[in-house]
Amino acid sequence: MNCGQMENRLIAYLDGKANRTERREVEAHLAACAACRTRAEEFRLLCGVLDEVPMKEPSPAFDARLRARLAAEPPRRSFWAWLAPSPRLAFAASMLLVASVWISSLPQAPRQDSVTPNADAEFRMIKDLPVLEDYDVLANFEALSELPAQPSAESKDM
């Protein structure tokens, strides 16, 4: 047990309200820690002084005055008071419900499917499929290199 936990349990120990295990732990800590032992002794002295102070009985009119002061206090609004139903809140909620039912019952405009442009592009690709299958041949096709060289004007003059 550390000194921080000791402070929490010391008052219960001194009042005799601690159970056996807590009492043993506190006594073991007090035996090992001089600072906490001093603090416990100070608490014991303070409790002794407080026990010697005479108890003063309240006056007979104290109870009546206290009740009168409590009655004069304005009642505090509860934190949850805003949840209490009010006519304005009920009206607003009903209008919101009517509007949402009305909007959900309106006919829906036909949606434009985003699939249509893709379908058109796929159809064009399928239409040109024979060309696409031979694309690698066409990409390397150099028709001009396979043509025989045409005689130039100089070779015709000879």
pLDDT tens string 59-68: 888 988 999 9
Confirm whether pTM is higher than 0.85: no
pLDDT of residue 33 exceeding 80: yes
| pLDDT for the residue numbered 112 | 63
What average pLDDT does the segment 82-106 reach?
86
E strands within 59-125? none
∠ Cα 146 150 154 (to 5°): 150
Backbone dihedral angles phi then psi of residue 146, each to the nearest 5 degrees: -90, -15
Contact between residue 13 and residue 22 where contact means Cβ atoms under 8 Å apart = yes
Of 35-44, 48-57, 110-119, least confident by mean pLDDT is 110-119
Q: How far apart are CA 30 and CA 36, in angstroms?
A: 6
Q: How far apart are CA 114 and CA 55, in angstroms?
A: 88
* DSSP structure class, residue 122: H
pLDDT band at 99 (very low <50, low <70, confident <90, very high): very high
**What contacts 47, CB < 8 A, 6 or more positions away?**
14
What stretch of H or E contains 3?
helix 3-15
